[in-house]
């Protein structure tokens, strides 16, 4: 039966008979999760696991095609393409986009709660920005190429060098401290495992201009706040914290030049991935003596601050910083989330002080997030050094964790109203109704073709509409429309100027 053949009265009468099925389709919301992003409120239908949530655990770890475009063109104009995105990258169909927007909304909300300002940088940067000499893995994973103007460029593998570049560029016009956050896509040609892919989004929060460990304590507090918002507890996740100054103090004892520091850290960061003999060999090859290596390895196994103090003494900066941090953490109220672990070094050369990583206590996933202090990065780019620290938090591992814990939100499309003309000649009138509602801030799905009423009901259910608004001829003549509240079945005729 076509809507166009029905009068409004008849249609509304029909609605009553169909309303029981609609009531089933419009179940009450189970969890009141809402965030103010267009088209993103919570709906009733549990979302099926989608590629954002499932790809990382599939064998192919993120899907994607494995090769270049498949079969050769049949003719010069016709080319059959592989419809999968390149290996290690993702499409975001609506259900995945809802999840991503929900996650980013929470990143932004937490940043706002801590008084941070949002920034962004180009995804494409000069390659030189990411080339450091310490032998970092991130360097070998760079997506880099020459552009048409023969410039060496790279897709950013992280956001920190761009942030440093912008701080140098803005120079004295900036009033410190800066509290900046960013959410951006990063590219690393990475071996793909669960939660690691070739593109990922990172949430970064950085504080520029504060030399005290109050800054690190504040940043970790922000991450804890984020976890709590998502329902993750201290029994799910913890932070391992150390300071690069621990290694520095050991190296100083053996008169190992400061210039080697970054390289030594990068080698030590591989300690869980490579056999110990290999680590020792690499350390020797950069000039660290056997005796120093033994002491380094001994210190790295320390898991308590008291023990660290026994070995390093209490006069150094490493112990003092860590003690101050743990005391602040206590005051912030998140002590149960954080533990000292000297083996945390981090794989980026620029860190100079406190370093930390978020890990899942189940031990199944790779680092959830990581950061630290990088007081000397700016001078490596020719700027004046400004004390700085920050963290990066990826979008992939957290989704895995939420899935494991059954904490993925149920997000569905929700449009508040569906507006339908009962006759093709009333399509313009329906457009007027849609405009009136939209101008009042109500979302409207306007039925754009002449469709059977059954189809309209199905659509209303799919988009989780609250109201069905039918525009019929005789009512329109009186300046009225038919309105049905889909959850209750209640229906009435309402004057256009009373519609809100």
Rounded Cα distance between 268 and 300, Å, is: 9
Q: Which is nearer to ligand HAM, 66 or 315 (CB)?
A: 66
Site string for ligand HAM, 333-352 (x = CB under 6 A): ---------------x----
Q: Is 62 in the site for ligand HAM (CB under 6 A)?
A: no
Q: Is 160 in the site for ligand HAM (CB under 6 A)?
A: yes
Q: Is 391 in the site for ligand HAM (CB under 6 A)?
A: yes
| Residue of 210, 213, 396, 456 that binds ligand HAM (CB under 6 A) | 396
Name, in order, each residue with C-beta under 8 angstroms of 146's C-beta and a sequence gap of 6 or more.
152, 153
Q: Which is nearer to ligand HAM, 158 or 416 (CB)?
A: 158
| Residue of 127, 158, 212, 473 that binds ligand HAM (CB under 6 A) | 158
Compute how many other C-beta atoms are within 10 angstroms of the C-beta atom of residue 148: 5
Q: Is 162 in the site for ligand HAM (CB under 6 A)?
A: no
Record the tokens describing residue 197, joined without a space: 């892919």
Q: Is 482 in the site for ligand HAM (CB under 6 A)?
A: no
Q: Which is nearer to ligand HAM, 219 or 465 (CB)?
A: 219
| Residue of 95, 136, 206, 400 that binds ligand HAM (CB under 6 A) | 206
Q: Which stretch binds ligand HAM (CB under 6 A): 18-26, 202-210, 234-242, 258-266?
A: 202-210
Rounded Cα distance between 171 and 174, Å, is: 6
Residue 454 CA neighbour count, 13 Å, CB half: 2
| Residue of 154, 367, 401, 426 that binds ligand HAM (CB under 6 A) | 367
Q: Is 353 in the site for ligand HAM (CB under 6 A)?
A: no
Q: Which is nearer to ligand HAM, 102 or 393 (CB)?
A: 393
Record the tokens describing residue 419, joined without a space: 């507006």
3-state secondary structure of 237: strand
Q: Is 203 in the site for ligand HAM (CB under 6 A)?
A: no
Could you give the strand order of the β-sheet that contains 117-118, starting from the edge strand earlier in sequence? 117-118, 178-187, 199-208, 388-394, 369-373, 354-360, 237-243, 338-340
Q: Is 280 in the site for ligand HAM (CB under 6 A)?
A: no
Q: Annotate 255-310 with DSSP letters as a single string.
A: T--GGGHHHHHHHHHGGGTS-HHHHHHHHHHTT--HHHHHHHHHHHT---HHHHHH
Rounded Cα distance between 442 and 236, Å, is: 40
Determine the residue with CB nearest ligand HAM: 394
Site residues for ligand HAM per CB under 6 A: 158, 160, 188, 190, 195-197, 200, 202, 204, 206, 348, 367-371, 390-394, 396-397
């Amino acid at each position: 039966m076509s809507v166009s053949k029905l009068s409004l009265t008849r249609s509304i009468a029909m609605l009553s008979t169909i309303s029981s099925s609609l009531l089933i389709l419009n179940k009450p919301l189970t969890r009141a999760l809402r965030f103010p992003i267009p088209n993103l409120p919570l709906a009733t239908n549990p979302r099926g696991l989608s590629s954002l949530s499932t790809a990382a655990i599939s064998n192919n770890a993120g899907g994607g095609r494995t090769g270049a475009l498949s079969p050769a063109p049949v003719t010069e104009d016709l080319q059959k393409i592989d419809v999968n995105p390149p290996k290690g990258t993702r499409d975001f169909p609506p259900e995945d986009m809802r999840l991503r927007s929900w996650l980013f909304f929470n990143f932004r909300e937490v940043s706002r709660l801590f008084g941070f300002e949002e920034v962004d940088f180009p995804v494409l940067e000069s390659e030189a920005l990411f080339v450091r000499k310490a032998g970092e893995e991130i360097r070998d994973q760079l997506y880099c190429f020459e552009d048409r103007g023969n410039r060496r460029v790279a897709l950013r593998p992280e956001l920190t060098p761009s942030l440093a570049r912008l701080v140098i560029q803005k120079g004295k016009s900036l009033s410190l401290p800066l509290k900046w956050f960013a959410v951006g896509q990063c590219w690393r040609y990475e071996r793909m495992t669960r939660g690691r892919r070739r593109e990922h989004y990172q949430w970064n929060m950085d504080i520029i201009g504060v030399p005290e460990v109050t800054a690190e304590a504040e940043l970790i507090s922000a991450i804890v706040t984020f976890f709590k918002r998502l329902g993750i507890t201290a029994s799910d996740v913890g932070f391992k914290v150390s300071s690069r100054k621990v290694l520095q103090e050991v190296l100083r004892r053996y008169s190992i030049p400061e210039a080697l520091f970054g390289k030594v850290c990068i080698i030590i960061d591989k300690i869980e991935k490579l056999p110990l003999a290999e680590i020792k060999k690499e350390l020797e090859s950069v000039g660290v003596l056997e005796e120093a290596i033994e002491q380094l390895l001994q210190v790295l196994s320390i898991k308590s601050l008291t023990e660290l103090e026994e070995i390093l003494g209490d006069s150094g900066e490493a112990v003092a910083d860590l003690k101050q941090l743990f005391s602040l953490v206590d005051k912030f109220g998140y002590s149960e989330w954080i533990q000292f672990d000297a083996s945390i070094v981090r794989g980026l050369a620029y860190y100079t002080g406190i370093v930390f990583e978020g890990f899942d206590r189940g031990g199944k996933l790779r680092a959830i997030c990581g950061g630290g202090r990088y007081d000397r990065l700016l001078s490596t780019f020719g700027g004046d050094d400004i004390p700085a620290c920050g963290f990066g938090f990826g979008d992939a591992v957290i989704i895995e964790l939420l899935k494991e814990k059954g904490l993925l939100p149920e997000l569905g499309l929700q449009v508040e109203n569906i507006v339908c003309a009962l006759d093709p000649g009333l399509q313009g009138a329906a457009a007027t109704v849609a405009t009136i509602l939209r101008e009042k801030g109500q979302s409207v799905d306007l039925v754009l073709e002449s469709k059977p009423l059954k189809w309209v009901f199905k659509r209303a259910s799919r988009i989780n509409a609250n109201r069905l608004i039918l525009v019929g001829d005789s009512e329109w003549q009186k300046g009225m429309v038919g309105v049905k509240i889909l959850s209750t079945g209640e229906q009435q005729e309402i004057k256009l100027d009373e519609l809100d």
